[in-house]
Amino acid sequence: MLDAGEDPAGPSDFDLTTNALPDEIEAILSGWADALWTQGKRFGTIGAKQKGRSYEITTHRAEVYTPDSRKPEVTFGDDVETDLSRRDFTINAMALALPSMELIDPFNGMSDLAASRLRTPLDPRISFEDDPLRMVRAARFTARFSLEPDQELLDAIVEMTDRLSIVSAERIRDELDRLIVLPVPSIGLWFLVKTGLAAQFLPELPGLELEQDPIHHHKDVLGHTLAVVDKTSPERLLRLSALFHDIGKPKTRAFTDGGVSFHHHEVVGARMTKVRMEALRYSNDDVATVTKLVELHLRFHTYRLGWSDKAVRRYVRDAGPLLAQLNELTRCDCTTRNAAKAKQLAKRMDELEVRIEELSAQEELNAIRPDLDGSEIMEHLGIGPGRHVGQALTYLLELRMDEGPLGEEEAIRRLDAWWATQQH
């Protein structure tokens, strides 16, 4: 089998399969390849690089999961059709025989590709029993290639969703990451919800399928969320922030005479995001980034009340290096069909960004610090490290936020006045 990479300038990555065993593959490549790697050898795969091209050569195999195992059992064979039968979908179960370039297509993958149809080579229940992650991968393939899932495939997924429980969180996370950065990820995300797969590893997503206001039938939170995901740039952490930004709404929904409210859903949502991302084994840095964007995604909306320079500085400081992502998430969070309302929100965001630029021109807004550092405070006051230094830094930082740069002389004068109040 040969699977060329997608580089329009020409293929640079090749996947091949052979009846040669891993030791034989390694021996054949040694001396020919510029580099060789064998991390996947126990699964039958030897990797190589030669003249800028990457190759992965795998022994014909059939890999299956046992009912209670999270890792596949691999057996090797000498039959390419059996190997292809264990591929995920028919469009991936085709090969070119080398050097004859004969197409091997025992499961009509070419016809399915032409018909934009998603099927499995074998009965989908067998395919998903072999590797349950293929059910989640089906969501990505429908979104990436605009494929129509076969009804038998859909029926099998609905029946077998609980089978996903044996797949490691890391593999599910990686598949979600691949889906979330596609041009229109909502297609695959809807697939996950409608088949019941999302309930297995991301239950907060189907939990959003409620009306914000059942009396007036305003748009449901799930539909809004997926629209926001589609609108954002295809950057993984920004897209994940869009996916999680409203998950706190179901827990905070309250009905009043004035309609419906979701007070503090951003705070609740940030906590829920942290729990879910940790369960999916995201890195600490990824968790911190996404939860911070979720927590801050409503901050901008108080801007309609008018922000002081202090508030603008605090907004920039709190966002830190995530400012651009936060602003984009805020803009994309507007999915209203009311053109006037959308225009007004965009105008307010434009105004805020202009103010940020103006203040940045006056000071280093992205790295706001007190006018004196800890060493200068200790030297001036004649004290050593301790809580008083931290309190002084906090006091000077608040002054900096309120009034902008004070200058060293004024900062020392203010510090002395503050210190005098701490001596009683």
Q: What pLDDT is stored for residue 348 in this prediction?
A: 81
Of 81-85, 140-144, 366-370, minimum mean pLDDT range: 366-370
Whole-number pLDDT of residue 7? 46
Phi, psi of 207 (to 5 degrees): -65, -20
* CA of residue 393 relative to chain centroid, distance: 36
Question: β-strands 53-59, 102-104: how paired?
Answer: unpaired
Q: Kindly report the CATH number that applies to the domain delimited by 206-367.
A: 1.10.3210
**The pLDDT of residue 359 is above 90:** no
Instruction: Measure the CA–CA gap between 227 and 242, rounded to whole angstroms.
Output: 9
pLDDT of 366 over the 60 cut: no
The predicted pLDDT at position 329 comes to 94
Note the pLDDT tens digit of each residue in 174-218. Answer: 999 999 999 999 999 999 999 999 999 999 999 988 655 444 444
Label residue 390 by pLDDT band (50, 70, 90): confident
- DSSP 3-state of 211: strand
Of the spans 13-27, 70-84, 133-147, 387-401, which averages the highest pLDDT? 133-147
Please report the pLDDT score of residue 196 as a whole number. 97
Whose tokens are 């429908």? That residue is 142
> pLDDT > 90: what percent of the chain?
46
* Nearest-angstrom CA–CA distance, 110 and 90: 8
Residue 213's pLDDT is what?
Answer: 47
Strand, coil or helix: 301:
helix
Q: What is the pLDDT of residues 290-309, one digit of tens each?
A: 999 999 988 887 766 677 88
Mention the CATH class of domain 60-201.
Answer: mainly alpha
End-to-end CA distance of the chain: 82
Judge whether 26 and 36 are in contact, CB under 8 Å. yes
**Which residues partner with 50 through β-bridges?**
53
3-class DSSP state of 114: helix
Q: Which residue has the higher pLDDT, 217 or 34?
A: 34
- Output the six-digit token pair for 279: 């369960």
* The pLDDT value given to residue 253: 75
pLDDT at 420 over 60: yes
| Average of per-residue pLDDT across 233-245 | 96
- The larger pLDDT score, comparing residue 266 to residue 396, is at 396
Radius of gyration of the chain from Cα atoms? 28
The residue that leads in pLDDT, 216 or 251, is: 251
Mean pLDDT for all residues in the chain: 86
CB distance 322 to 406 below 8 Å:
no
pLDDT, tens digit, 9 for 90 and up, residues 260-282: 666 678 889 999 999 999 999 99
For residue 6, pLDDT over 50 is answered with no
Q: Tell me, what's the pLDDT at 261?
A: 60
Domain boundary assignment for the chain = 60-201, 206-367, 374-421
Residue 229 CA to residue 304 CA, distance in Å, equals 25
